[in-house]
């Protein structure tokens, strides 16, 4: 089972034109994504009222996590495409960040779904840890949990005995550092547990909020909006899980199209790793009316067309 740190390999077997085309496809898309994410983070930092809502704080945390994940992913992709080699001591931290942020993604989705559940069922008596001023405790806990799998994986790491981790140059890929069968079994087990737990949490919150929607007569609009948010988190989880379709799509392409192995791997990497990660935060952020209005005011091309606007109350 592959994750975000496994990229189109064997770049030396591809001709220079193919490599240039792949890089020219990835870099502009990543640049557009990075601009949108930085614009969102700038909007958060510029308006204090966003920090009065746990939902927006968790969303900002998701933006930072996805940015680190894609930045490490694209860097590793470029290193492999350029056949850049460096010592394991420098490669390991980059792989660690890529794996940890990959594991952290679904955990954040679970936390955001639970936050909607708490906001609906405990609007006046929110647990202390879910209040805006203490939500950082949950974010820090998620980061610690997501760092445990790559830490264990690196403890089990057994690189080639002929290599010196400080001087021997290697291509920075997980296959170089994770060659033991036990590491593969460990990663499969961890990914299965993580995604199954998150799916169960999202399903639980969806069913509870759905039942609450049927019972409530007042404030039905806010409950329905929370229900739609949880559905969106489920869709984001499906996007995250698309990376696990690599073996299926690879076999289908091999059976129907005669592509070289590195082209198949790039197709999978672009369609099932990059695109879902690009779309997930953008869909969630741009659908929010309050955030979208402030983003328009921050964009130079829209600033002149956006007139004065009354302060918008951010829902908690």
Q: What is the mean pLDDT of each run of 10 residues along the chain (316 residues)?
A: 51 67 90 88 86 90 91 90 86 90 90 90 84 91 93 76 77 75 82 89 90 69 80 83 71 68 80 79 78 78 52 51
Both ends of the chain: CA-CA distance in Å?
39
Q: Which residues contact 182 (CB under 8 A, 6 or more apart)?
A: 156
The structural domain count of the chain equals 1
Phi, psi of 86 (to 5 degrees): -150, 170
Q: Give which of 138, 154, 143, 148 is closest to 89, Cα–Cα.
A: 154
Q: Is the residue at 149 inside a domain?
A: yes
Adjacent-strand bridge partners of 169: 87
Q: Is the residue at 112 inside a domain?
A: yes
Place of tokens 């996805």: 66
Q: Is the residue at 293 inside a domain?
A: no
User: What angle in degrees, to the nearest 10, is found between the helix axes of 16-46 and 289-298?
Assistant: 100
Q: Is the residue at 311 inside a domain?
A: no
pLDDT for residue 101: 92
Q: Is the residue at 278 inside a domain?
A: yes
pLDDT for residue 256: 66
Q: Is the residue at 309 inside a domain?
A: no
Contact 135, 96 (CB under 8 A): no
Q: Is the residue at 294 inside a domain?
A: no
Contact 23, 81 (CB under 8 A): yes
CA separation for the pair 244, 137 (Å, rounded): 30
Contact 107, 236 (CB under 8 A): no
Q: Give which of 195, 247, 65, 57 is closest to 138, Cα–Cα.
A: 57
Q: Is the residue at 4 inside a domain?
A: no
pLDDT for residue 18: 83
Task: For residue 239, give its domain range.
Answer: 17-284
User: What is the model's pTM?
Assistant: 0.83
Q: Give which of 157, 184, 1 is closest to 92, Cα–Cα.
A: 157
- For position 44, which CATH number holds? 1.20.1070.10
Phi-psi category of 84—alpha, beta or left, where left has phi over 0 and alpha has psi -120 to 50? Answer: beta
Q: Which residues contact 312 (CB under 8 A, 6 or more apart)?
A: 49, 290, 293, 294
């Amino acid at each position: 089972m592959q994750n975000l740190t496994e990229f189109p390999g064997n770049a030396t077997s591809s001709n220079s034109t193919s490599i240039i085309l792949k890089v020219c496809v990835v870099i502009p898309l990543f640049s557009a994504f990075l601009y949108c994410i930085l614009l969102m983070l700038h909007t958060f930092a510029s308006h204090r009222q966003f920090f009065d809502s746990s939902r927006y704080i968790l969303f900002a945390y998701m933006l930072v996590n996805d940015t680190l994940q894609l930045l490490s992913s694209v860097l590793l992709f470029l290193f492999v495409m350029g056949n850049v080699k460096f010592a394991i001591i420098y490669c390991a931290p980059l792989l660690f960040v890529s794996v940890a942020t990959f594991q952290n993604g679904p955990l954040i989705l679970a936390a955001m779904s639970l936050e909607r559940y708490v906001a609906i069922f405990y609007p006046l008596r929110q647990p202390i840890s879910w209040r805006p001023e203490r939500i950082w405790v949950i974010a820090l806990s998620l980061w610690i949990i997501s760092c445990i799998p790559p830490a264990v994986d690196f403890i089990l790491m057994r690189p080639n005995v002929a290599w010196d981790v400080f001087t021997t140059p290697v291509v920075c890929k997980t296959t170089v550092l994770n060659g033991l069968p036990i590491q593969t079994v460990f990663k499969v087990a961890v990914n299965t547990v993580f995604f199954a737990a998150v799916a169960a949490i999202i399903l639980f919150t969806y069913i509870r909020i759905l039942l609450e929607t049927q019972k409530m007569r007042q404030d039905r609009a806010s409950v329905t909006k929370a229900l739609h948010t949880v559905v969106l988190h489920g869709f984001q989880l499906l996007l995250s899980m698309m990376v696990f379709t690599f073996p299926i799509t690879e076999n289908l392409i091999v059976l129907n199209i005669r592509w070289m192995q590195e082209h198949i791997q790039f197709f999978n990497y672009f369609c099932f790793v990059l695109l879902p990660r690009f779309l997930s935060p953008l869909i969630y952020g741009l659908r929010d009316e309050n955030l979208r209005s402030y983003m328009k005011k921050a964009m130079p091309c829209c600033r002149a067309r956006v007139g004065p606007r009354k302060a918008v109350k951010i829902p908690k």
